[in-house]
């Protein structure tokens, strides 16, 4: 059976959309940290996960701040893959998960 392109094989995929500007963007950092914790027994380094989320968000967010950023969180090869999409722009980053 073939896999949909937006699904990880046999894994968790969580999608979250937030406004590109404003305080709600911080929700993506909290969600990313909690997803990483869910995938492993220990909590990840929240500062590095937060920096990763902010990094991909800043690469895709429009200059005017309008619009919405969609984040996809999934585990790939022992790492938390964070993909950000906004309009036609996309970026991704990988965060190591605690052993």
**Given this model, what pLDDT does residue 72 score?**
94
Question: Do 76 and 13 form a contact (C-beta atoms < 8 A)?
Answer: no
Question: Does pLDDT of 40 surpass 80?
Answer: no
Of residues 23 and 64, more confidently modeled: 23
Which tens digits make up the pLDDT trace of 7-22?
444 567 899 999 988 8
Grade residue 3 by pLDDT with cuts at 50, 70 and 90: very low
DSSP string, 25-79: GHHHHHHHHHHHHHHSSS---HHHHHHHHHHHHHHHS-TT--SEEEEEEEEETTE
pTM: 0.80
Residue found under tokens 């800043």: 58
Question: Does pLDDT of 84 surpass 90?
Answer: yes
């Amino acid at each position: 059976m073939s896999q949909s392109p937006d699904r990880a094989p046999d894994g968790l995929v969580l999608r979250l959309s937030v406004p590109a500007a404003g305080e709600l963007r911080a929700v993506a950092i909290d969600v990313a940290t909690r997803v990483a914790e869910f995938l492993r027994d220990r909590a990840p380094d929240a500062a590095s996960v937060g920096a990763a989320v902010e990094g991909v968000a800043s690469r895709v967010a429009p200059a005017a701040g309008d619009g919405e950023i969609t984040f996809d969180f999934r585990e790939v090869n022992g790492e938390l893959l964070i993909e950000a999409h906004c309009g036609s722009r996309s970026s991704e980053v990988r965060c190591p998960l605690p052993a």
